[in-house]
Amino acid sequence: MSTPLKDMLIKRIEATGPITIADYMAECLMHPTHGYYTNNRVFGSEGDFITAPEVSQMFGEMLGLWLADRWYKMDKPEQVQLIELGPGRGTLMEDLLRATEPVPGFHEALTVHFVETSPQLRDLQAEKVPHAHWHDDLSTVPDGPTLLVANEFFDALPIHQFEKHDNKWCERRVNSKDGSLNLVLTSAGPKFALTPKDLHNTPDGSVLEVCPAGISVAGTIAERLFQCGGAAIIIDYGYRKSATGDSFQALKSHQYCNPFEAPGEADLTAHVAFDQIAAAATSRGAASYGTAAQGPFLMALGVGDRAQQLAASTDSAGQERILSELKRLTAPDEMGTLFKVLALQDPKLPAPAGF
Ligand code: SAH
């Protein structure tokens, strides 16, 4: 299948040679006219995939209470930068803000910042949270005590892939042949240095992944928490401990598809290596907690009680819906185990709930 972005990428590859998976992923997701997040697509049941905040209001509500508790433990600073990375449709922030409205003084202290590159998604977010401030990255968010949340943000950041061939690590790059895109093995680029050394001695055919952008964002968050105080909560699917394997995947209309088939038209993601995120953060002075699995984490925060409370004020169809949402978020065979939660915070703060 031809797409405008595919034609552009083929021309680029013909002119300058194969591109890294990271370059390919960045173009597919963020190209200013043809990128997946630039152009498309709704999250939710009609879209290509559904995220936890779109499954249920309870997700954002629980995270809101977790963050409000951190604010209390920070001694209720009068001004707090509340940052969300990759807010999608703005649903999580809307639910989080509604749930924390009764917390005395909390909303008065908050300034909401969205880190979002897609202008189209910024418009959707503005419908839900009109008073937010938008940023391309964290560097322009003003200093100050910080609360940060990121759900399914790190899995969208570009990864590099390396494959062992004839006992030598090579980099996978995207090449073009007869109007289609395919993978080739090339000499490993400098990002190989970021891969976990304990996985280097693995058999031929092994694949290693690394996400330099994720490592860099984690370091920036940690510096901010160390210098200005505060806490961050990161939820995503991925590895508790880095492992070999190819986790690069494409989703279109809730179906897995070939990531090289229709660039710009499918969502591309990779497993998040939480140990690498946590190591980047602790090396910059933050304390890290977890990972916890999403199911037990949400149950520890009281999502079961919240579901009962919501169910008590609705009819039997509503009750069934709430129970199925709860199951979707927490059951081990749904999002409860695959999705993991990592907290980063100022080391002076006491341990957070849920870990
Ligand atoms: N958190 C939302 C959306 C997840 S999809 C939810 O749970 O529903 C990923 C989000 O991250 C989108 O809003 C996308 O536009 C944004 N995004 C992806 N890469 C980004 C980057 N490098 N910088 C800023 N935003 C990015």
Q: Is the pLDDT of residue 3 over 90?
A: no
Instruction: For residue 46, count CB atoms less than 10 angstroms from its CB and return exposed for 0-12, middle for 13-18, buried for 19 or more.
Output: exposed
The percent of residues above 70 in pLDDT, for the chain, comes to 97
Comparing C-alpha atoms, which of 191, 157, 192 is closest to residue 269? 157
For the stretch 230-285, pLDDT in tens is 999 999 999 999 999 999 999 887 789 999 998 998 999 999 999 999 999 999 99
> Which protein residues are within 6 Å of ligand 1, measured from CB?
37, 43, 51, 53-54, 86-88, 92, 115-118, 121, 151-153, 156-157
* CA of 323 relative to ligand 1 center, distance in Å: 28
| pLDDT confidence of residue 2 | 83
- Of 47-51, 77-81, 347-351, least confident by mean pLDDT is 47-51
Give the nearest ligand 1 atom to 52 CA.
7
Q: Is the pLDDT of residue 189 over 80?
A: yes
| pLDDT confidence of residue 44 | 61
| pLDDT confidence of residue 252 | 86
Tokens of 72: 């209390």
Extract long-range pairs of 66-70: CB within 8 Å, 24+ residues apart: 66/233, 66/301, 66/352, 66/353, 66/354, 67/96, 67/100, 67/147, 67/149, 67/231, 67/233, 68/100, 68/103, 68/106, 69/352, 69/353, 70/147, 70/230, 70/231, 70/345, 70/349, 70/352
* Global confidence as pTM: 0.96
Which residue carries 């037990």 as its tokens?
A: 296
* CA of 169 relative to ligand 1 center, distance in Å: 31
Q: Is the pLDDT of residue 222 over 70?
A: yes
CA-nearest residue, atom 13 of ligand 1: 88
* pLDDT tier at 43, thresholds 50, 70, 90: low
CA-nearest residue, atom 10 of ligand 1: 86
Q: H/E element holding 235?
A: strand 230-239
| pLDDT confidence of residue 244 | 96
* CA of 187 relative to ligand 1 center, distance in Å: 31
Mean pLDDT of the chain: 95
| pLDDT confidence of residue 47 | 66
Q: Out of 148, 153, 328, 335, give the residue to mutate to test ligand 1, the one with the largest number of ligand atoms within 8 Å of its CB.
A: 153
Asked if residue 55 lies in contact with residue 327, where contact means CB atoms within 8 angstroms, the answer is no
For the stretch 169-184, pLDDT in tens is 999 999 999 999 999 9
* CA of 319 relative to ligand 1 center, distance in Å: 31
Average pLDDT for 44-52: 75
Using CA atoms, how far apart are residues 39 and 61, in angstroms rounded to an integer?
Answer: 29
CA-nearest residue, atom 5 of ligand 1: 88
Q: What is the 3-state secondary structure (H, E, C) of 161-200?
A: EEEEECCEEEEEEEEEECCEEEEEEEECCHHHHHCCHHHC
| pLDDT confidence of residue 40 | 60
Which residue carries 């993978």 as its tokens?
A: 183
* CA of 156 relative to ligand 1 center, distance in Å: 7
For the stretch 291-312, pLDDT in tens is 999 999 999 999 999 999 999 9
| pLDDT confidence of residue 199 | 97
